[in-house]
Structure 1
Amino acid sequence: MKRLVERSEYLNFLKRHQDKPLIKVVSGVRRAGKSTLFQLFRDYLTETGVSDEAIISINFEDMAYDSLRDARSLYDYLIKKIAVKKKVYIFLDEIQHVENFERVVDSLFIKENVDLYITGSNAYFLSGEIATLLSGRYVELKMLPLSFSEFVEWKKQNEDDQPNAQYFNEYLKSSMPYTLFTETDQEALEYLQGVYSTVVLNDIVARLNVSDVRVLERLIETLFSSVGSLVTVNKIKNTLVSKGTSISNKTVEKYLQGILDSLILYEAKRYDVHGRELLDTQSKYYVVDSGLRRLILRDHHQDFGHVLENIVYLELLRRGNKVYVGKVDRYEVDFVAINAKQEVSYYQVALTTLDEAVLKRELRSLQAIKDSYPKYLLTLDEYNKEANFNGIKKMNVLDWLLSVDS
């Protein structure tokens, strides 16, 4: 029997904050593994001596709990459960389905015998007034689908050993955890179609009251095909209009925010390296899973360089960075990563730099940066894969993805 994927980094986050007076919030796109993470943590609690009676778990996507999608009903239900117990661990999965859920969460937070864990599948469930109400009372884990390292570890534990390049080819098909358990590419695509449809219909169309779903889908297709390219709202609108879709800048902005809130797409803003400030003009967008991009753009010519760039972007997020597109004079750096300690590192991503002209082009933006922060050139090259160009460290991207100390 194939085992669940051990999301050790995410699991350690929950372990670190266990029993601390904070609400543990796990956010992430649908089917990224949030519910499985909770299951793994509940298993851990049981193994460390917590009784089954002290663990309360509700998944609001289960129809069995439809009657608890009202704040008062949920609160009354939970209060009865915790009234006579000492320490109680409460897991509320996909809590965005509960109207005014923040009132329940805030009320449970002040109970001394409650350790509270919640998940949500969109960014707006902790936005605005809700975030203000809970400010200072929660820690958030932003969960992504499988890293390449997690993917390879699971494959080695459950299947025959293969070269890393072969694993990477499989990883490109999808990083969604459940696809590991599908038998064929067609089955995986059918699963991804279900995920995509649920995100679009439940997290974007329903929330924004979209009347013409096809216009929204054309916008998503345009964004997916523009991965790794600098775009503006006006440029996106003009692209859609040129293809016969009538849409305004205001509607593009509205739909774009809804797509970002659904967490199937991430925005990387531009950052002036010399001025140390964000720039308002142009952004790049990256898809949460390469499999979803393949699903939507089946007949599209894949720019593999941008696909690789997409994977590096997500990995930098996993490693706890804020990630921007760098501007250095007239050059562009693929990524400026800033960690929690405000330490900066720079990354340039290319399929190969064995051609001298390509190498020169990829190095020049990093060479234009005059500070002493780490600079990396990530490629798929096997030959001369660990070169050093006056402090710019070249690495094979698969080695980098599998490294634990990069």
Structure 2
Amino acid sequence: MIKRDLYLRRIISNMWNGEIKVITGIRRCGKSVLLFELFYKYLLQKNIADENIIKIALDQRRYYKFRDPIVLCDYIEEFVEKNKNQKFYLLIDEVQFTKKVIDKKNGDVEVSIYDMLNELKAYKNLDVYVTGSNSKMLSKDIATEFRGRATQIHVQPLSFAEFYSAVGGDKRDALDQYMLYGGMPRIVDIHDVTDKKNYLKNLYEELYVKDIIERNKLERPDILNAILDFTASQIGSLTNPTNIANALTSLRRENVNSTLVSKYLDHVMDAFLLSLAKRYDIKGKTYFNYPNKYYYTDIGLRNARLHYRQYDPGHIMENIIYNELIVRGYSVDVGQITERKNNEKISREIDFVVNNGDRRVYIQSAYQMNTEQKENSELRSLAITKDFFKKVVIRMDIPHNFYDDNGFFHCNLIDFLLGEVELW
């Protein structure tokens, strides 16, 4: 069992907060295990009686009747009303399997699981937790359907630290595996290389892509797949829907509309397959509308999408660093700063502008800086900020961490991912 202590602590800190706790995330990233095994075990360790923990897994046959939200609500209400002096925990897995029904007892109105959960939330002796497939329960659904009274706990695939806690061994060997196959939890238990690749390929094609198509009733799955191919090949590169549409128009020899690309990208991000990192003007202190960057939630899925043909360790490393920063709960943007040189404006990039409350750090991802030109290229953008925020260069080609003469902190990637260095 892989510990997911970060997410478990987030659940624990929100216990009995008067809101429904909704566990979201890309499918197969470990939401059900987190709730039904790790959190359940925690409750038992806190001497919560097993009969006071109501577990309903809607993907299992014996719980099919509770896919009717009225039947589910009536069952839970009977439980908590009979024992008002006791506290109960309701854990519902795969809530997307519920259906809308007509409430014949109350004016023939249509009700959904959201209506019933909002009703159950009113009970002071009931604390409610649900997981939902990203294809059916998205973050925008939570904001609207739960009327702003839900706490979302978003779960990512395994971080490298979580992955390494499971596989152990040589750290660099483990990182090489992680950079190739990513952190979907099932990968840890698959040892054959071909089986790993087939698992990720099937996840992508049979689960995620079909979910997006079916949920959004997409009429052009071919365009969706073309967008997924393009974004997979362009991680770490600035782009926008217009650029993607133009590229697809050229490749496919048909006019691909940028509005359609933008809409399809939104669907992909809603499904937590991609994340958008906005570009921030450091001097102007404003955001650009475009271009921005897209990163894959799991780098193994990205590699599987491209059939492992475009293995660019520099961009893969950048994607992994971005995901790690998001897991830690930071706000992450792509930095842009302009330098004047010989009466010419030169735009330079800082990979990540990372904010944590009122604290900020700039991060450059540099797989290696083995030439003077590469070093100048990576460090120049940090130097021209001329502010006092910490500057960090995360690298693969150094055996230990150090500060250079400019005060920039050079950090080994593995040390960063394992939390062995402080950013702040």
Instruction: Give distance in 1, aligned partners of 2:324 and 2:95.
Output: 27
Q: Does 1:68 align with 2:77?
A: no
Asked if the contact 1:215/1:245 (under 8 Å) is kept, the reply is no
The two structures have a TM-score, normalised by structure 2, of 0.88
Question: What is the identity, as a one-letter code, of the residue corresponding to 1:238?
Answer: N
Q: 1:368 pairs with 384, 388, 393, which one? A: 384
Structure 2 residue 167 is matched with structure 1 residue 155: yes
Percent identity among equivalent residues?
Answer: 33
CA contact (8 A) 2:400 2:411 kept: no
SS of residue in 2 equivalent to 1:125: coil
Measure the CA separation in 1 of the matches of 2:25 and 2:139: 14
* Shift, 1:333, TM fit: 0.7
Confirm whether residue 106 of structure 1 aligns to residue 118 of structure 2.
Answer: yes
Give the corresponding residue for 2:352: 335
1:400 aligns with 2:416: yes
Aligned pairs (5 A) from 1:5-404: 5-38=2-35, 39-85=37-83, 86-99=86-99, 100-122=112-134, 125=137, 127-128=139-140, 130-132=142-144, 134=146, 137-156=149-168, 161-162=169-170, 164-172=171-179, 173-196=181-204, 197-202=206-211, 204-244=212-252, 246=254, 247-298=256-307, 300-329=309-338, 330-339=347-356, 341-383=357-399, 385-403=401-419
Number of corresponding residues: 396
In the aligned structure 1, how far is the partner of 2:5 from the partner of 2:268?
29
2:244 alignment partner AA: I
Amino acid at match of 2:56: I
Distance in 2 of aligned mates of 1:55 and 1:114: 10
Partner Cα separation in structure 2 for residue 56 and residue 120 of structure 1:
17
Q: Distance in 1 between matches of 2:11 and 2:131?
A: 12
User: Does the Cα contact within 8 Å between 2:400 and 2:412 map onto a contact in 1?
Assistant: no
2:90 counterpart letter in structure 1: I
Residues 135-156 of structure 1: CA distance to partner in whole angstroms, max 9, x if unpaired? 5533222211111111112223
1:212 is aligned with what amino acid?
R
Stretches of structure 2 that go unaligned for 5 or more consecutive residues are: 100-111, 339-346
Of 362-371 and 185-194, deviating more is: 185-194
SS where residue 358 of structure 2 aligns? coil
**CA RMSD between the two structures:** 2.0
Q: Which structure has the larger Rg over C-alpha atoms?
A: 2
Shift of 1:263: 0.4
Deviation at 1:127, TM superposition (A): 4.7
Following TM superposition, by how much is the alpha carbon of 1:82 offset from its aligned partner in structure 2, in angstroms? Answer: 2.9
User: How many Å separate the matches in 1 of 2:96 and 2:152?
Assistant: 15
For the Cα contact (< 8 Å) 1:336–1:345, is it kept in 2?
yes
Give the conservation status (yes or no) of the 8 Å contact 1:266–1:288: yes
8 A contact 1:347–1:375 mirrored in 2: yes
Measured at CA, do residues 132 and 190 of structure 1 come closer, stay the same or move farther in structure 2, by a change above 3 Å?
same
Structure 2 vs 1, CA of residues 256 and 103 (structure 1 numbering), >3 Å: closer, same or farther?
same
* 2:105 equivalent in structure 1: none
Measure, in 2, the Cα distance between the counterparts of 1:188 and 1:61. Answer: 25
Per-residue CA deviations over 1:174-222 (Å, capped at 9, x if unaligned) read 21111111121222222223322212112x1111112332332121111
The answer as to whether partners of 1:123 and 1:263 remain within 8 angstroms in 2 is: no
Call closer, same or farther: CA 1:176–1:152 in 2, change over 3 Å: same
Whichever residue aligns with residue 89 of structure 1, its letter is Y
